[in-house]
Amino acid sequence: LVGWWVAFPKPGRLGLLLCAGLLAGACRRPPPPPIQIGLVTYDGSGLNGTPTSNAVRLAAEEVNRGGGLLLAGRRHPIEFQTETIREGSPEEAVAAVQKLINQGKVSAIIGPQNSAEAVPAGGVADRSGIPLISPLSSHPLTTLGRPFVFRVCVKDAVEGAVLAAFARETLKARTAALLVEERVATSRTVAEAFRREFLVRGGRIVADHAITEVTEGTAELEPVLRQIKRSQADVLLIPNYQTTTLQIGRAARRAGIRSIFLGPDSWSRRHLLAIPEFDGAYMMSNWSAELPSAENARFVGDYARRFGSEPTETAALTYDAAKMLFAAIAATPDGAPAAIQKALAGSAGFLGTTGLIRYSGTGDPEKASLVLQFRGGRAIMARQVALAEGR
Amino acid sequence: MRTRGQSIVTRIVGSLFLFSLLITGMAGFFATRQVSASLSQSIQDRLTVAVGMKEVELRRMVEKQKALVEIFSRLPDVRRQARILVSRPGTRERAAARAALAGLLAAPSLQQLGWREVLVLGSHAGKVEFATEAGHEGDFRYDDRFFLQGLRATSVQNVYPWPVTLQPTLTIATPLADDRGATLAVLAVHLNLDRMDEIVSGGIGLGKSGETYLIDRYNSFVSSQRFGRHDFPRGAHTDGIDAAVQGRSGSGRYLNYRGTPVVGVYRWLPDLDLAMIAEVAQAEALAPARRLGMAVAGIGLAGAALLMVGIYFLARRIARPILAIKDTAVAVADGDLDAVAPILSSDEVGVLARAFNEMTARLRNAQNDLERQVAARTAELRGALVAAQQASRAKSAFVSAMSHELRTPLNAILGYAQLMGMGTGRSDPAEFPGFASKILVAGEHLLALINDVLSVARIEENRVDLAAAPFALRELALGVEGMLLVRARSKDLALVVTVDPALPGGILGDEGRLRQVLLNLVGNAVKFTRKGRVELKLLATAEGRLRVEVADTGPGIAPEELPRLFNSFVQAETGRRAKEGAGLGLYLSQSFVRLMGGEIRVVSELGKGTLFSFELPMTASDPPVASALLRRSYRLEPGQALPTQLVVDDLEDNREVLATFLASLGLTVRTARDGREAVAIWEQWRPGVVWMDMHMPVEDGFSATQRIRSRERAEGSARTPILAISASVFDKDQISILEAGCDALVTKPYREADIVAALGRHAGLRFIEAAGPGPAAAGSLAEAGALPAGWRRGMREALGKGDLDAARAKVLELPETAAGLRGTLLELLAEFRLDELERLLPMPAEDA
């Protein structure tokens, strides 16, 4: 090479150096493009918007602090494209996901949380082959037949089954009453699973009612509550969202119903545990700050430090969803959506704040769950149900 | 060479062909581009119009559907069945109501409306009480916008992905009221967007590839039938679609969703939340432009080919004359100067050919000239060679002639001298009357001959100087006449001398040389003319020049001899035959005349005679005082000391001649045979003058002179004048003679005058120059007294009458033997010295 250089005519050498410099400049690799991930979160009017956004931010900050995800030897930062919708607006959710996929060109999506939005949104993502993780959506249809859609929480059927088993085995309840909010899908599916499991375990359903809409003092609720009271059921399953649940619970106690209240994860513990009518009630949950794991302790501490507030179950599940997604992306050669899907589905298990998460053939995780009891304004872990995968 | 010519043509044709191809290509390209642009523009305009019309059509269709849904919702039967459905009926009643509704919807007129799904939702919780899609019944759609809007009034929810089907959906919802006007339920109709899309796509009249389609705000195709959803997992993205989805309308050329280049118009329809895209494949839309381009290119190609053929022939036509010139040039280069380039045209190439031919012609002429000059030079050289050979021959001839010429007078001299020597030891002229004069004549002839030869030498060495002294032409002419008259008479020729009275009495010039010329010419005439006359004329020309003519009636000179007549050592045939003369006369004459500024010309006719003539410039002068024609006689002035004379010469004759002359002057003379004897006599006798011959046996004159001089120096005695006598005429000899100590040189042959002059100059002797006959003439005059009395009588008679011609004729009657006397008499006659003549010719005794 030296000989070649010396042999090169002198006037040409400067030009040669210049060319080499230009070439080197041109070849210097631009900063690696960020990995685009979509987030469908809610505005501040609902309960889940802030925890969702915070959890995702926390997770992304953790990863980006280290330079991003290591992909084929280079670190790519994580960039979230956020679509904010109203809670209870499936149309907006569908539009948001459609937009993220078609126009935002995201590689994966986190959210939406609620089944009402997650079910149609998951459909869009799956149809487009973009992995979508709904941390909180428990509706069976969310993941049903959708290889690209995952959830972090257990599904409705599991919740129903866990509650039924808890009622029969731990509380030794022999009879149960159900008050379903007919228009809410989760309500229906949790009730369905509970009904089946309770019967299987030798219990008796003494009252099974559905209401279309709960407004205090509606004529529809009073006769139902009277019948439930007459049934003398040991437990009353109220598988509804907190607003309806609160109304029903208060009305039930007013109506003289003594049954132990049972509820699924769709209850908002923060809103219910301080309500005297709900003191002693049990609810199914995917997470508790008391969960004894290093991951959980670190998360709870980090979250509190970062946002100045206690994390919620939504935050924990969303945090797990984000960290699990990052891990899956890092396991791919190129961060392509299909590869991410494969990595998620084929993962040996992700240890998150909510426990070990693992998928086996579906988007529904095999993981432990909890039953909490509201007692004295606190949610106490009443029981941990290991790997309560619904049948 | 031919290939070179071909290459000119090929190059011209090739270049022009490429050039025309380039132009054609450019024309085609720009035509295509221009037409493409305008075509594209017109297609965009048409598409824009089409899209506008479709939009109107769509909007009208939606309005129509809205009205239809409203009409349907007001049908009493529909309302009745809806009321049944929302009133929580029993299973059988519900089924009946559903069947009734389905029955209504199954009417053919409704089937054609393009309703994809019809729903009846309870106003209370949005529960789907009736749906044409069975799976959708029982669902609660209280969150759907169409439900919430439909509770209040008939409304249209523009295209959106319905969360249930996830398909783009356009829903028209209208409240179903009971008889009291309270809203019982909502009737929702999802329109069949595939139908809508089909309607939109139809009939834009833009060819097979033209299509119009609808896209929702999220880049999804509205029609799921025409475009499989899975082909576009992230929606359809083209420049047009993306722009339209972002709310922009416009048009342009881009790749469509299939990757086909299209001309497209895109438009965002805000009131329908739809993008409408109309596109035509560029391949089809711009086909005319492409065809035009191809046509232009094709025509251009054909034109270029035609042009090429034309240019080929033109180039060949242009090149042919050039090639012809080239061929000619090659021929000329090979030496064929007669090659002529054909002039095939009158253009520049023709001019070139003509110029080339002129050039060749000049070359040819130059060569011819050169050849002529060489021939001329060769001829000249040959002539020169011949001339040289002739000159060589002439010199050989001259030598032989010269030998003869010299021998003749020498014979005479020797002969007379012997005759005289046979007498007593002393020579007494009186004893041999006429002998001395004969020897004198022969000697003078010899002298003249030798002088001629010397003159030739001088002329050829360019050493001739002409004297410029006054002399009388008339005397000259008479002198010549006198000298030749006897000879002419002897041959019975008339010698006529004419002197033009217009001539001046005297002129400046070289009299001697001119006389020599006249003597030669006239002498020749006399010599070669057998009968008739010889004329000498001296004439004055109008230009004031002297013209001399010598005419004879002789045999004439052959024309072929005329050119050589004046060459040295050349004699004419007559001259050779006469075996007389050395062939120098005419040469010298001509040379002298030329020196004098003239040229002798000859006109001759064989058998009739010859005329020599020449003209000379002349300068008039006073005639000379004295005539030099008479022989001078010298006498010593009385009362002088007379120096003794010693004559030294090995030859007795020479000794005698000089000694006799000196003695005749009254001087005492002794002689010596050689240098030794001379010195011995000088020692003893001390002569006043020594005459020293330089070339002698025993001791030559140089040595003797040196000895005398050295003795003089030794004695301190007076210097004895030693006068050298030598035949040498060369300067270097003269110098060495003077260096030897001689005081002067008298060249042989000398005349009395030379001796007298030398004596005067070196011995201080003074002489009286007598015009009368000198001692030499004394003999002649003595003869005159002895002339016959009758002759003398006739002569006196003539003189007495003053008839000079008669007197001259009388003199010429004298015999040849009395030549000396004759010459003297003629001289006297010429000088009109009649008294002298009378004294010389006394009256015969009997007359006295």
3-state secondary structure of B718: coil
Band of pLDDT at residue A372, cut at 50, 70 and 90: very high
Mean per-residue pLDDT, A115-142: 91
The CA distance from A364 to the nearest CA of chain B, in Å, is 21
The CA distance from A239 to the nearest CA of chain B, in Å, is 17
> Is the pLDDT at B632 greater than 60, yes or no?
no
Among the partner-chain residues A101, A127, A212, the one whose CB lies closest to the CB of B127 is A212
Among the partner-chain residues A89, A99, A212, the one whose CB lies closest to the CB of B124 is A212
Contact flag B160-A95 (C-beta cutoff 8 Å): yes
Cis previous bond, A112, omega within 30: yes
Mutate to test the interface with A, among B142, B216, B234, B237 (most CBs of A within 10 A): B234
Between B33 and B118, whose confidence is greater? Answer: B118
Using an 8 Å Cβ cutoff, are B827 and B820 in contact?
Answer: no
* pLDDT of the residue at B164: 85
Residue of B nearest to A141 (CA): B164
Determine the Cα–Cα distance for residues B312 and B13; give it in Å rounded to an integer: 6
Transcribe A269-281 into DSSP letters: HHHHTT-GGGTT-
Determine the Cα–Cα distance for residues B689 and B682; give it in Å rounded to an integer: 10
Band of pLDDT at residue B420, cut at 50, 70 and 90: confident
Q: The tokens 């849904």 sit on which residue?
A: B69
3-state secondary structure of B133: coil
**What are the structure tokens assigned to B804, written together?**
């000079």
ipTM: 0.78
At B339-353, the pLDDT tens digits run 888 877 778 888 888
Contact flag B143-A182 (C-beta cutoff 8 Å): no
B666 close to A (CB below 8 A):
no
Contact flag A94-B163 (C-beta cutoff 8 Å): yes
> Is the pLDDT at B780 greater than 50, yes or no?
no
> How many interchain CB pairs under 8 A, A with B?
76
Contact flag B234-A105 (C-beta cutoff 8 Å): yes
Residue of A nearest to B234 (CA): A102
Residues in chain A whose beta carbon is closer than 8 A to a beta carbon of chain B?
Answer: 88-91, 93-95, 98-99, 101-103, 105, 116-117, 119-120, 123-124, 127-130, 182-184, 212-213
* pLDDT of the residue at A374: 92
Residue of A nearest to B167 (CA): A124
Mean per-residue pLDDT, B715-731: 79
For chain B, positions 351-410, list CB contacts with chain A under 8 A: none
Using an 8 Å Cβ cutoff, are B10 and B315 in contact?
Answer: no
* pLDDT of the residue at B778: 42
Determine the Cα–Cα distance for residues B199 and B201; give it in Å rounded to an integer: 5
The CA distance from B90 to the nearest CA of chain A, in Å, is 16
Lowest mean pLDDT among A145-159, A180-194, B192-206, B502-516: B192-206
Between B11 and B98, whose confidence is greater? Answer: B98
pTM metric for this prediction: 0.56
Residues from chain A that touch B160, judged by Cβ atoms under 8 A, are 91, 94-95
**Number of Cβ within a 10 Å radius of residue B653:** 14
Contact flag B218-A182 (C-beta cutoff 8 Å): no
DSSP 8-state class, residue A30? P
Residues from chain B that touch A124, judged by Cβ atoms under 8 A, are 161, 166
Determine the Cα–Cα distance for residues A38 and B143; give it in Å rounded to an integer: 24
When the pLDDT of each residue in chain B is averaged and rounded to a whole number, the result is 80
Determine the Cα–Cα distance for residues B6 and B26; give it in Å rounded to an integer: 30
Band of pLDDT at residue B230, cut at 50, 70 and 90: low
When the pLDDT of each residue in chain A is averaged and rounded to a whole number, the result is 87
Q: Which amino acid is at A144?
A: L
Residues from chain B that touch A120, judged by Cβ atoms under 8 A, are 161, 163-164, 166
Q: The tokens 């919740």 sit on which residue?
A: A159
At B447-467, the pLDDT tens digits run 777 777 777 777 777 777 777
Residue B513, classified by CB atoms within 10 Å of its CB into exposed (0-12), middle (13-18) or buried (19+), is buried
Closest CA to A147 of A363, A364, A390: A363
> Is the pLDDT at B258 greater than 80, yes or no?
yes
What's the order of all strands across the beta sheet hosting B744-747? B669-672, B645-648, B689-693, B722-726, B744-747
Query: Interior CA angle at A260 toward A256 and A266, to 5°?
Result: 110
Determine the Cα–Cα distance for residues B402 and B382; give it in Å rounded to an integer: 29
At A172-208, the pLDDT tens digits run 999 999 999 888 888 888 999 999 999 999 999 999 9
Contact flag A90-B127 (C-beta cutoff 8 Å): no
> Is the pLDDT at B624 greater than 80, yes or no?
no
